[in-house]
Amino acid sequence: MSTSADLSEKTVLVIDDDQSNIFALRAYLERDGVDVLTEERAEDGLERLRENDKAIDLVLIDIKMPEMDGYEATRAIRERLGREALPVVAVTGKASDEERQRCLDAGATDYLSKPIDLERLIAIMRENLS
């Protein structure tokens, strides 16, 4: 599936403490022109958002991270950084309606369970970035 028609030249920030997840997402998204920024810690991701202001189009954030988890980081994106309109997609190893609702309650725009369905990811990105 090609992402280039809708997503080329978009910038996605991936916040995940697992290098293999970062590598796979970067490889998949960059092949079609998506600019991928990465951070392994939520606080570093928040700092990257502060520094880049409006240049980041979408955030993919892992929920289970040390220090600050994805719920707290998503709330910080919304409240502390005031980025209510920025699409934030929560990524979690727990696939359940309760987990999805918890992510949405924290301020996530959408939710993906692991392993990530790449076609679903692209559909979510197109929906939020078109």
Mean pLDDT computed over 10-14: 96
Residue given tokens 């959408």 in the structure block: 110
Provide the 3-class DSSP secondary structure of residue 100.
helix
Report the percentage of the chain scoring pLDDT > 70: 95
User: What does the alpha-carbon distance between residue 27 and residue 36 come to, in Å, rounded to a whole number?
Assistant: 9
Structure tokens of 130?
């078109």
Q: Give residue 110's pLDDT band: very low, low, confident or very high (50, 70, 90).
A: very high
On whether the pTM is more than 0.85, the answer is yes
pLDDT (tens digit per residue) in 47-80: 999 998 679 999 999 999 999 999 999 999 999 9
- How far apart, in whole angstroms, are the C-alpha atoms of residue 55 and residue 70? 21
Report the alpha-carbon distance of residue 73 to residue 68 in Å, rounded.
6
Amino acid at 48: R
pLDDT, greater one: 118 or 2: 118
- Indicate whether 1 pLDDT > 50: no
Average pLDDT on 101-123 reads 94
pLDDT given at position 3: 46
CATH number for region 4-129: 3.40.50.2300
Does 4 have pLDDT greater than 90? no
Q: Give yes or no for a cis peptide into 87 (omega within 30° of 0).
A: no
- Tokens for 108, please give them: 């996530």
Delimit the domains of the chain by residue range. 4-129
